[in-house]
Structure formats: structure tokens, C-alpha cells
Structure 1
Amino acid sequence: METIQLTRKELYELVWSTTLSKLTQQYAYTNDGIKKICKQFEIPMPDGSYWSKLKFNKKFKKEKLNPIFGGVDKIILTIREEGNLINVDQTPLTIRTKEIENDPKAPLTVPDKITKPDILTIQTQEFWKAAKNNRFYKDDKKITYPIRFDINNRERALRFMDTFTKLIRYRGHTFSKENIETGVLVDGIFVELDLREASKRVPAKPPYSGTELEATGEFIFKIGRYSGEKEWRDGVVKLEEILAKIVAKIEIYAQEQKKQEEASRLWRLQYDLEKKIEEEIKKRRNEEVEKFNRLVKLSEQYDKTLIIRQYIEAVQQKAINANNLTPEKQEWINWANDKADWVDPLINKPNDILDS
């Protein structure tokens, strides 16, 4: 949408020279939206009597604009496109609802009689006929409407769901089934549906005592499940009159679910990446600890080798000093040096007996 930039003074002159009704025709805001902008930028607005006094040339007091303002003196207003009734300051649900309502081709009117029934309408009628005398009858292969009603109100429920289905298809969505639940697929997101009749507890009919549930004829339409579910109930406004709002909510609900799934997917990717890095660090640490322990072990082994060699040398020197280096003593010295070479991690001389 096209926008325009104003200063506080320019907007001040505008709201004191143009009525709110005309401003909402020029700009894509509600009355409250324009009032909020003026409040945000500390711009005084005329009261209800101002325009009447102005019209009849009566005296009025025009509140002055305070030139001192702590914020940025820059106001961006969205210009209303011709024929576009959507206001940018409204909720996403209201905007989407109006978008659907303003579409002349959207099937929004529930007829008094179904013409050209949707395939799901036909399948539901066939299911009711087959299950008439068998309450345990089921057909998991076909999708039918999730209607839970007293037989007297089924016809209205069927007309509502037939129009609802045609609107859903017109909006580019499809119907699907997960397990035994029927729902709408919006951009790959399954939104569960349920249409039921409200009931109230009344005194049981004789000869029974206590209370029983009695159908009220009021419709309740529910989408989603658990904390994300949303219900609409017949009241002053019937469900048939808020089809656009229901479909708008389904689309927004699916968008929110998709965002949550994408956020969960990204979180899982990040979690897996951090877990992988953590495991790699742990693996490297373990490898480093293992190498260090091996170093300590080899160092201790080498230290033992030095002690053995010192001992062998001391034995040999003692024998020489005592002139007692016999062939037997020399044989032992040779044997001991051989074993020192076997222990020495720098030599690792093989030994058939000890290695085995």
C-alpha cells in the first residue's frame, strides 16, 4: 500500500480541518486507529461539538499543538486504496475476514436447499443412510463431515458444512483425515474440525429420576485441539453468518502452527548441532586424556628402565672392583640388559617369553 509522511504539525492541521469519517476514507485506519496515532504523537483532537460549531460559525476553542515533543517528528500514514475497506490498524483476523467477505466470488451464503452438493456432502449422506440401523457402522476409507447432531438438525448442519466446504476449497485448501478425525489441510497443516449440537441438563422424564441431556438446537463449531482450539456458538449471530471469520481463523491458525513447527525444526537443528559439537569436544577430550595417560605410563616405564640400568651398572661395577666378574655374573648382566631393552619404551625389544 502507498504511504505518506507527515510532521506533527501537518497531522494536527489535518485532524482540525477534516472530520474523522473523511480521514478514514482517505487513510486505511479506523476512527480509533487515527485517535491512537494522535495520542502517540501528542496531537490534540477536536471534540464532538467542534464540527457543529464550525458549521454554524459559532465560537470554539482550538487547542494548540505543543511544539515540544520527545519523539521523532515523523508520522507514516497508509493511504487507502480505492474500494479497499481493510484497515491496517486492525487485527490479522479482522483483515483476513474482510478480505474474504469482500471477495464477490467467495461462496459465503448458506442456501435454504443444497444444490450441486460437494462430494463430502454426498459421502456423509451415504454414511448416515448406511449407519441408520447400525450404530457401529464405520467407513474409514471415505471422508465424512464431523457432525454430531440430533437427527432433527442434521439438514441444517449439512447445509452449513456444504457451504463451508465449498468456501474452503475456493480458498485453495483441501480436506483430509488423520486417524479417525476429519480436518482441513492448510499449507500442509492439519486443522481438526468438529460441529456439534449444544445440550443442557434437564430433569429426566418419568419413570426415570435425576437429570438427562437435552439438545438445544444451538450449533457449536470447533477447530484445532488442546490449547489451540477455538469455538464459535450460535447466539444472536448464527454460525452461517460468520463463515468468513471461521475460515479466516483457520488460515491464521494454520499459519501460526506452521511458524511454531518451523521454530521447533530450527530449534531441533540447533540442538542437534550443539549436541554434535559437545560430543566432538568430549571425544577430543577423551582422546587427549587417553594420550596423556599413555604419556604418563610411558614416562613411568622409562623411569623404571633408567633405575634398572643404574642397578645393572652398579652390579657390574661392584664385580669389577672386587675382581669378581665371573662368566656367570656376566651372563646375568647380559640377561638383565636384555630385559631393560624390553622394558625401555624407546627400544621395545621383543621377548618371546614375556611377550607371549
Structure 2
Amino acid sequence: MSEIYLHRDEIYKQVWERPMRQIAQDYGISDVGLKKACRRLGVPTPPVGFWAKREAGKRVRVPALPPLRGEARECVVIRPPEAVPDVGELPRPEVRVAKRLDNPHPIVRKTLEELKGASVDDYGRACPRNPKGLVVRVSPGQLSRAMRLVEGLVRALERLGAKVEMTPRYRDEVKAAAVIEGEPVDFSIWEPSGRKKVRIENRWSSYDRFTYTPHGRLELRIDEYVSSGRAKTIREQASKPIEAELGRFIQSMYATARVLKAQRLEREEEARRREERQRERERIE
């Protein structure tokens, strides 16, 4: 089942005509999920005991649909459980990581050129002054390995039909990202640093300061503020190199892209409904 649009006025009528459990079954979701959708829409729902009183012939009160206020929305998009990507639905692709970086992808080459001439920050990571490529923040000692990882990741994404390219963003910003099923997904690779306290002493005073040293284990990150049901950060373990996790990372990227798409469609539908209401008000006036 694909995305379902719940419109505020329509769902209000439904939840006061039949029990929410029945309506939720029609949409293929739980009654808890339906109640959450009603809260987002600002739609009042029947209290506990409402339907028992009604069946017993007792008088019950049906509140009016209140006007939109606060964060209430005109429309929300829901995805039934079978439509949400899970661990078993998205196949884990094979990602090949070469021993040498020969003839890299153009965006990988651009990123490498930036990093080769970059200074090192306080955390021991190469940090370009005006980065235009992919976000790769690792120590110079891990740069070759990180770029081979990124090359394998980019090539695997392209074999699946995705692209990794410069994409327009907010306020004329252009940023490198994966474009998966039409949705830009930001991702990055990092090398965390360990912190050590050092005692500094001189003739006049003494004080503590912290130094940071990269520890050689890498992290893959999806830099999007969504919950996709997948790991957004995959950390390298001593028993499992990050090279073995690239397929799982791509699964997470695809799951994230589908959540982003659902959110975008919801925003577009809300905008359409607002325009309709505005046109209707102008027509009446």
C-alpha cells in the first residue's frame, strides 16, 4: 500500500461516525497511529467509553472541529507498516572497495584534491577551507583508505540507479549529496578522536588542556534529521571493519530517502490545501 493522505475535515467526520479501531483497519495502520495522526491534524477524538454510551442510548457530546491553530496541519501523509522499508525489504548490495584509487569518480577526485591541500584541525582531521566536495573528515593517515571507501560507495550507488552529484540547496547553496529515488540524501565519513588531558605548567601558572588524537576507526553518517528505522551512524568495530558495513549503510540511505520523500509529499499537499483555502476565501470575499 502506498502513502495515504488524511485530510483534516474528512478524518474528523470518520472518527465520530465509527470507532477508531475500525477506521485504522481500513487504512492498514494501528489505532494508536491513527490517534497520533489526529493529534497532528488538531482533530478531537472520542473519549474512552463514548461508543458504549452511544450504543446504550445515552446522550453523548460530539465537539465541533476547531479552527487550525498552532502546529496543527490540514493534511498528513501516513505510510502503512507494509509500505515502510524494513531490514528485509531492501536488499543489501555488494560494495567493492579497491586496493588502489585508480580513475576515481569525478566528485571523489574533487574531494581528494581538496583534502590533499587542507590544513589539520584541532581534532587531527584534514579540513578544507572552502569545501565543495563530499564531507570526508579524517586524519591524513586515513585519507587514502577513506577515499577508497567513498569511491566504492559512490560506484555502488550508481549501479543501483542513484547519483552522487552537486545538488542545489537552501539560499543558493550547492552541496554534494547522493540523489536516491529523486531525493537528496546527505552523508559523510568521519574519524573520531580520543581526548587526553594534559597538564601545562610554566613559571607563572599551571592549567589543564585537552589534546585530541584520531583513533583510526571510521564512521559512516547519514546527515538527515529523520527517523528511518535504520542506523544513521555506523561505527567501525575492532572485530568488523567498516568496509564490511557499506552495504548496510546503503540500505539505510535508501530507507532515509523514502522517509524524506514522504515528508516532502506531505509538505506539498499541505501547501496545496492552503492555496485552496486562500482561493476559497478570496472567492467568498
Q: Same fold (TM over 0.5)?
A: yes
Secondary structure of the residue aligned to 2:240 is coil
The amino acid across from 1:122 in the alignment is: R
Of 128, 138, 147, the residue aligned with 1:158 is: 147
* Structure with the higher strand share, 1 or 2: 2
Runs of 4+ more than 4 Å apart: 132-137, 205-208
Paired position in structure 1 for 2:115: 128
Contact 1:204–1:212 (Cα < 8 Å) also in 2 = yes
Contact 1:198–1:215 (Cα < 8 Å) also in 2 = yes
The amino acid across from 1:252 in the alignment is: A
Report whether the alignment pairs 1:239 with 2:242.
Answer: yes
Paired position in structure 2 for 1:21: none
Report whether the alignment pairs 1:204 with 2:198.
Answer: yes
Deviation of 1:155 (Å): 1.3
The amino acid across from 1:120 in the alignment is: I
Secondary structure of the residue aligned to 2:186 is strand
* Structure with the higher helix share, 1 or 2: 1
Percentage of identical aligned residues: 16
How far apart, CA to CA, are the structure 2 residues paired with 1:184 and 1:169?
9
- Which string of whole-angstrom CA distances, capped at 9 and with x for unpartnered residues, describes residues 20-54 of structure 1? xxxxxxxxxxxxxxxxxxxxxxxxxxxxxxxxxxx
Is the alpha carbon distance of 1:122 and 1:202 closer, same or farther for their aligned partners in structure 2, counting shifts above 3 Å? same
Contact 2:114–2:128 (Cα < 8 Å) also in 1 = no
Contact 2:178–2:186 (Cα < 8 Å) also in 1 = yes
Matches within 5 A, 1:138-287: 138=130, 140=132, 144-177=133-166, 178=169, 179=173, 181-204=175-198, 209-228=208-227, 230-235=232-237, 236-281=239-284, 283=285
Secondary structure of the residue aligned to 1:147 is strand
How far apart, CA to CA, are the structure 1 residues paired with 2:92 and 2:188?
22
Report whether the alignment pairs 1:111 with 2:98.
Answer: yes
Paired position in structure 2 for 1:53: none
How far apart, CA to CA, are the structure 2 residues paired with 1:260 and 1:174?
21
The amino acid across from 1:225 in the alignment is: E
How far apart, CA to CA, are the structure 2 residues paired with 1:120 and 1:248?
22
Deviation of 1:226 (Å): 3.1
The amino acid across from 2:194 in the alignment is: K
Deviation of 1:228 (Å): 4.7
Deviation of 1:209 (Å): 3.0
What is the TM-score normalised by the length of structure 2? 0.56
Is the alpha carbon distance of 1:116 and 1:93 closer, same or farther for their aligned partners in structure 2, counting shifts above 3 Å? farther
Contact 2:119–2:128 (Cα < 8 Å) also in 1 = no
Contact 1:131–1:138 (Cα < 8 Å) also in 2 = no
How far apart, CA to CA, are the structure 2 residues paired with 1:265 and 1:246?
29
Deviation of 1:251 (Å): 1.4
In structure 1, runs of 5+ residues without a counterpart are 1-88, 284-356
Deviation of 1:263 (Å): 1.6
Deviation of 1:136 (Å): 6.4
Contact 1:93–1:245 (Cα < 8 Å) also in 2 = no
Deviation of 1:254 (Å): 0.9
Is the alpha carbon distance of 1:119 and 1:95 closer, same or farther for their aligned partners in structure 2, counting shifts above 3 Å? same
What is the TM-score normalised by the length of structure 1? 0.46
How far apart, CA to CA, are the structure 2 residues paired with 1:135 and 1:199?
14
Deviation of 1:276 (Å): 2.2
In structure 2, runs of 5+ residues without a counterpart are 1-81, 121-125, 202-206
Contact 2:200–2:209 (Cα < 8 Å) also in 1 = no
Deviation of 1:221 (Å): 1.3
Contact 1:96–1:248 (Cα < 8 Å) also in 2 = no
- Which string of whole-angstrom CA distances, capped at 9 and with x for unpartnered residues, describes residues 218-271 of structure 1? 211111333459211112333211211111211121111111111221122122
Contact 1:93–1:249 (Cα < 8 Å) also in 2 = no
Query: Could you say which structure has the larger radius of gyration?
Result: 1
How far apart, CA to CA, are the structure 1 residues paired with 2:253 and 2:155?
15
